[in-house]
Chains A and B, each alone.
Chain A
Amino acid sequence: MTATTTAPLAAAPPRTLKRPPARLRAWATRAPLLPALVFMIVVTQLPFVATLVISFFDWNALYPKARRFTGFDNYRQVLSDTDLRHSVWTTVLLTVAVVLASLVLGLLLALLLDRRFRGRGVVRTLLIAPFLVVPVAAALLWKHVLYNPEYGLLNGLLHYVGGPQPDWISRTPLLAVEASLVWQWTPFMMLILLAGLQSRDQQQIEAARVDGASDWQIFRHLTLPHLRRYLELGALLGSIYIVQNFDAVFTITSGGLGTANLPYTVYQSFYQAHENGLASAAGVLVVIGSIVIATFALRVVSSLFREEVGRS
């Protein structure tokens, strides 16, 4: 459809065919929706309510008899525990660093790919590939094959230029995790931004060029404002996925060396320490953090969505 090439964002509006007034008809319209809706509420909302309830109990799974209501004690403990506070900070650091770095790299790559050159399709495929490696496999690849201080590829390449032979993971553990995530997430940002670039108004750009605008001026005053919302979308979706990251932290450092983020800490506090109450409180905190991000994310998606509905 031509509409999709000129208006690339979100769905076109649904069209009303015929809306009979009868109540039965209204339920017949709703019926196809209900299985999915009920399923989602049962599987995703109920467990969260349970987490909320458990977070108010002092409950160690190894001592089930000692379970008792403690009000906000778990939250107090989570917020005053230095390890947990540190994991909050680690989560923020990890998310911000990975999102920003992959967004900047993704923008550069998208700009490079937006122009015609020989083998563009091949380069695009090469660039997408890192995103299509199973996350655990990617983390193993970085941990053993690239970072290994004795025979990893990084030190192997440094060897050729007579460089140092650092032990990457123990010297810069968080950076090591971040680098592997940036490698995986840059393609994601690139794809979103490339879609943004290709939805620019070409006539407007031609007109600006005819009027003597330089490449930089066109980028600064036409492309960047147009890309703003795609950048926001990339940043927000990236944040939502990376705040929840477990695979890379679990695989590369096993949460050691100060790289434990909140998801890893929640996992550890109930899977290894069996502290159900504490784990739930930490989980609720992750959710509160996500809700803050998600509120912005929903606003961006919804404005893209409305613009699209309004346009067609």
Chain B
Amino acid sequence: MTAVRRHGLGLVAWLAGIVFFLPIAWMALTSFHSEHDAATNPPSFAASLTLDGYREFFGADGGASPWPALANSAVASVVSTLCVLLLALPAAYALSIRPVRKWTDVLFFFLSTKMLPAVAGLLPIYLFAKNAGMLDNIWLLVILYTAMNLPIAVWMMQSFLAEVPVAVIEAARVDGARLPTILARVVAPIALPGMAATALICFIFSWNELLFARVLTGVVAETAPVFLTGFITSQGLFLAKVCAASLVISLPVLAAGFAAQDKLVQGLSLGAVK
């Protein structure tokens, strides 16, 4: 292959990367413009920068503060992720290190629940929540997000735990180590990076979720994506504010996503691709 061609294709790759990233870069730039500069045609690339968009998003002009929604999202995502790990870890253990009979069937049952569209169970869950007085309650979302992410976590954790060499476990056992010691000293160090990636991916899915949050929460338990739906109808000049809001609310996901970059495919493909 000629050098020209190799460099040429590298250049094409760079170009593609820039094109795909352009909307995000433009969003970031616009969020630092004044509302007036944000709404010009042709676009003002070199307009002066300001934090007004962020100030307005955080409620400087008497608008609704996003903090309660951000706090709700944080609770729903973090707590549901912890619940997922708590349930998935023993399950994955029983599907890999010390497998139950027909463990593949169980694994595929978990996968099949992921393929049931959320919208199919939405109405009964709504009716149940209404009758049980759990509408607009963040803990209902915690339960639902746990169920939403559990199959992914079981699949990922199963594949990570399966990487623990059985000979090492046997050796520890022969040396007289008991189960808790084996789990803490042998299994955990090998499975921890995978667990961290699993947690980050569950966090992302919970943070992003809109349909359940939109239907089941109102004023009190509103999450960040529901807060964003307040920007669907235009409100005069508000582009800088929209960009600031979108960016701030996406930041946790961007951070978690880049942190889990290497394991992202595995989580998204439910463990099918490593």
Contacts and interface: CB of A to CB of B under 8 A. Distances in A.
Given A15-B97, A279-B123, A156 B20 contact: no
Contacts of B27: 141, 145
B91 to A, nearest CB: 4
A1 to B, nearest CB: 6
Interface string B65-76: 000000000000
Contacts of A196: 273
Nearest to A312: B162
A30 B118 CA distance: 28
Name the prevailing secondary structure of the B interface residues.
helix
Interface string A24-50: 001001111101110110011111101
B225 A136 contact: yes
B218 interface: no
Contacts of A160: 42
A29 B95 CA distance: 9
B119 A246 contact: yes
B116 A159 contact: no
Contacts of B122: 47, 266-267, 270, 283
Contacts of A94: none
A134 B118 contact: no
A47 B117 CA distance: 12
Contacts, number: 346
Nearest to B229: A136
A301 B99 contact: no
Interface string B40-67: 1111000000000000000000000000
A191 B242 contact: no
A129 interface: yes
B228 A233 contact: no
Interface stretch (A6-14, A71-79, A170-178, A200-208): A6-14
Contacts of B10: 115, 117-119
A98 interface: no
A256 to B, nearest CB: 11
Contacts of B109: 37, 40
Contacts of B186: none
A223 interface: no
A134 B114 CA distance: 20
A203 B104 CA distance: 33
Contacts of A298: 108, 111-112, 115
Interface in A74-131: 108-109, 112-113, 115, 117-120, 122-131
A304 B269 CA distance: 12
Interface string B12-32: 111011101101101100100
Contact of B42 (A15, A51, A159): A159
A244 interface: yes
B87 A35 contact: yes
A188 B26 contact: no
Interface string A233-259: 100010010011011001100100000
6 contacts: A11-B271, A32-B93, A36-B110, A115-B9, A141-B242, A186-B20
Interface of B: 1, 6-7, 9-10, 12-14, 16-18, 20-21, 23-24, 26-27, 30, 38-43, 87-88, 90-91, 93-101, 103-104, 106, 108-128, 143-144, 146-147, 150-151, 154-155, 158-159, 162-163, 166, 169-170, 173, 204, 207-208, 210-211, 214-215, 224-225, 228-229, 231-232, 234, 238-239, 242-243, 245-247, 249-250, 253-254, 257-258, 261, 264-265, 268-274
Interchain residue pairs A-B with the least CB separation, the first 5 = A117-B10, A32-B90, A47-B121, A50-B124, A137-B246
